[in-house]
């Protein structure tokens, strides 16, 4: 037979209330349908589940076995129902998020704010280089990722978050004091991130110098922040890096200091939120994306 949940719920109620009348009252159903369901269970299995003693129903051996496993099955069904409803509402479930160093702050803030309202959400976080993150989203290893433009992987949908604000990152004994301008930086060896093969932040940073008639000396191009960090620490030069990534690096290494750049406007290359275009995200992922966009828009510093 196909085991149906409603007869098992009726059976469980009869066991726990002792009589058909009490169970019917607790379930808000009439007694005849409840009695019929119990008789059908007995008929389909060819067993007697109860014996009547002093006007109460007592379980036989077959009934005790059924009661134990009916309770387990009904609890599992209730758990599945609650879980599926939470998934549908976007209040439960795993969210797999990737980000480059420049996107760590808005991603962390979005996760914290979302977790405060929906503690059942779970996050799997991954930091990496833009091309790697794009490949992980494309292969569905990640649900979404925050990366700088340009997007080089076909089939990804991108939504802008915030412009990139850059600062200078240098050793504390570099001789730089407080705010600096591009003319000052043009006299120093520079270290830049250069991750993409097409026109991106690297080229726009150089253009900011060229517009002022300055020729910067780029001594190193790095694919990611840890390499850049190590080169700055070794005194190779001054790095130009997104503000929040520089803040994280400086906080982790007291030998380094960040300097605002007075005449460098936000780079028009944007951080973007990417996901696979032909895959409809689940409710939890949609909820995270909405929170991230809201958080990025409210931020007082751009990333």
CA-CA distance, 160 to 268, in Å (whole number)?
Answer: 11
φ, ψ (nearest 5 deg) of residue 167: -130, 170
Residue 297 neighbours by CB under 8 Å, 6+ apart: 162
pTM of the model as a whole: 0.55
Q: Model confidence over 249-298: pLDDT tens digits?
A: 666 788 899 999 999 988 765 789 999 999 888 888 888 999 998 888 76
Q: Which domains does the chain have, with CATH numbers?
A: 5-89 (1.10.10.10), 93-162+269-298 (3.40.190.10), 166-265 (3.40.190.10)
CA distance to 166, 201, 212, 254, per residue, from 183 (Å): 15, 19, 8, 26
Per the model's pLDDT, the better-predicted residue between 175 and 82 turns out to be 175
Average pLDDT taken over every residue of the chain: 85
- Out of 138-147, 181-190, 256-265, the most confident range is 181-190
The alpha helices in 28-92, defined as continuous H runs, are 31-45, 61-89
β-sheet bridge partners, residue 256:
171
Q: Which of 293, 246, 245 is nearest to 272 (CA)?
A: 293
For the CA atoms of 224, 226, 228, 233, the dihedral, rounded to the nearest 10 degrees, stands at 180
Q: Model confidence over 42-96: pLDDT tens digits?
A: 888 888 888 888 777 888 888 889 989 988 888 888 777 766 765 566 555 688 9
CA-CA distance, 35 to 243, in Å (whole number)?
Answer: 72
């Amino acid at each position: 037979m196909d085991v149906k949940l409603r007869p098992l719920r009726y059976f469980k109620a009869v066991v726990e209330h002792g009589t058909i009348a009490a169970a019917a009252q607790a379930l808000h159903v009439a007694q005849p349908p409840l009695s019929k369901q119990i008789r059908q269970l007995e008929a389909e299995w060819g067993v007697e589940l109860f014996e009547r003693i002093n006007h109460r129903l007592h379980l036989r051996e077959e009934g005790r076995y059924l009661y134990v496993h009916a309770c387990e099955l009904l609890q599992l069904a209730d758990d599945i129902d609650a879980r599926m409803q939470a998934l549908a509402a976007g209040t439960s479930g795993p969210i797999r998020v990737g980000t480059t160093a420049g996107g760590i702050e808005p991603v962390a803030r979005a996760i914290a704010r979302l977790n405060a309202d929906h503690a059942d959400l779970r996050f799997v976080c991954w930091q990496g280089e833009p091309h790697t993150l794009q490949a992980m989203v494309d292969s569905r290893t990640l649900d979404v990722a925050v990366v700088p433009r340009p997007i080089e992987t076909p089939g990804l949908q991108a939504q802008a978050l915030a412009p990139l604000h850059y600062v200078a990152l240098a050793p504390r004994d570099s001789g730089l004091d407080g705010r600096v301008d591009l003319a000052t930086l043009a006299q120093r060896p520079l270290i830049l991130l250069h991750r993409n093969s097409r026109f991106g932040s690297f080229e726009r940073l150089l253009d900011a110098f060229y517009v002022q008639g300055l020729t910067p000396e780029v001594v190193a191009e790095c694919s990611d922040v840890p390499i850049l960090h190590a080169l700055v620490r070794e005194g190779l030069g001054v790095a130009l890096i997104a503000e929040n990534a520089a803040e994280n690096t400086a906080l982790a290494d007291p030998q380094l200091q960040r300097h605002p750049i007075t005449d460098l406007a936000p780079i028009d290359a944007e951080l973007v939120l990417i996901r696979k275009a032909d895959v409809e995200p689940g409710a939890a992922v949609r909820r995270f994306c909405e929170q991230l966009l809201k958080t990025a828009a409210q931020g007082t510093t751009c990333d």
